[in-house]
Amino acid sequence: MLSNKAKSGFSIIELVIVLVVVGLLSFVGYTAYQKLHSTSTASTTTTAQTPVATDVTATPTVNSASDLTTAESALDQTDTSSGSDLTTLNSQLSF
């Protein structure tokens, strides 16, 4: 007759250890995926809520030197002191 030591296969302890390792790897992978997914969702949400300038006047078509002066004065009237464009550019560059 064969003794118990001659049998081959996995013991219950080895099986439990394998299941624990697989569970830990699954948990770490799922956590990393959630973190990545929430970061991309946050950047999409931030981009979607970017304010659109509505008080900007349209610049005229430049065909001559006088048109260039008119376009320059129109651009000079645009308020750039708020810094929202710079903030938006920096946030887009960070992604």
On whether the CB atoms of residues 62 and 71 are closer than 8 A, the answer is: yes
Q: What is the average pLDDT across 24-47?
A: 80
pLDDT digits (tens, 9 = 90+) for 41-89: 665 555 556 666 666 666 567 788 888 888 788 777 766 666 667 777 7
- The Cα 70–Cα 60 span in angstroms is 7
- The Cα 35–Cα 24 span in angstroms is 17
Structure tokens at 67: 């048109």
Q: What is the average pLDDT across 7-31?
A: 91
pLDDT of residue 45: 55
Task: Provide the residue type at 80 as one letter.
Answer: T
Is residue 41 classed as helix, strand or coil in its secondary structure?
helix
pLDDT of residue 29: 95
pLDDT of residue 44: 57
Q: Which of residues 44 and 92 earns the better pLDDT score?
A: 92
Contacts of 84 (CB under 8 A, 6+ apart): 51, 53
Is residue 81 classed as helix, strand or coil in its secondary structure?
coil
From 51, 48, 58, 62, select the one nearest 78 (Cα to Cα): 58
Structure tokens at 70: 């008119």
pLDDT of residue 9: 75
**pTM as predicted:** 0.37
